[in-house]
Amino acid sequence: MSFFQTLMFAMTLFFAYQIYRHVRQLEDALPQNEIQPEHNISFALRLVEQADESYKTGDLLQAKTYLEDAYLHDRKNPEVLNKYAFVVAKTGDRLKAIELYEESLELDENDDLTHNAIASLYRAENAYERSQDHYLKAIAIDDSYAQTFYNYGNLLVDMHQAEEARSMYKHALELQSDFPQAREALISLGDIK
Q: Of 75 and 192, which is predicted with more confidence? A: 75
| pLDDT tens track for 22-75 | 556 655 554 544 434 455 667 888 888 888 898 899 998 999 998 898 898 888
From CA 78, how far away is CA 20, in angstroms rounded?
Answer: 40
Would you kindly state where each structural domain of the chain is located, as residue ranges? 40-108, 110-193
Measured over all CA atoms, what is the biggest interatomic distance in the chain, rounded to whole angstroms? 104
Q: Please state at what angle helix 146-158 crosses helix 162-175, rounded to 10 degrees.
A: 170
Name, in order, each residue with C-beta under 8 angstroms of 141's C-beta and a sequence gap of 6 or more. 110, 111, 112, 115
Q: Which tens digit of pLDDT belongs to each residue from 7-31?
A: 565 556 555 556 656 556 655 554 5
Closest CA to 63 of 34, 37, 38, 89: 89
Whole-angstrom Cα distance, residue 22 to residue 43? Answer: 27
Q: What is the pLDDT of residues 136-162, one digit of tens each?
A: 999 999 999 999 999 999 999 999 999
Q: Which of 148, 110, 144 is nearest to 131 (CA)?
A: 148
Indicate the class that CATH gives domain 40-108: mainly alpha
Instruction: Decide if 35 contacts 27 (C-beta within 8 A).
Output: no
CATH 1.25.40.10: does it fit domain 110-193? Answer: yes
Residue 128 predicted with pLDDT over 80: yes
- 40-108 and 110-193, same CATH topology: yes
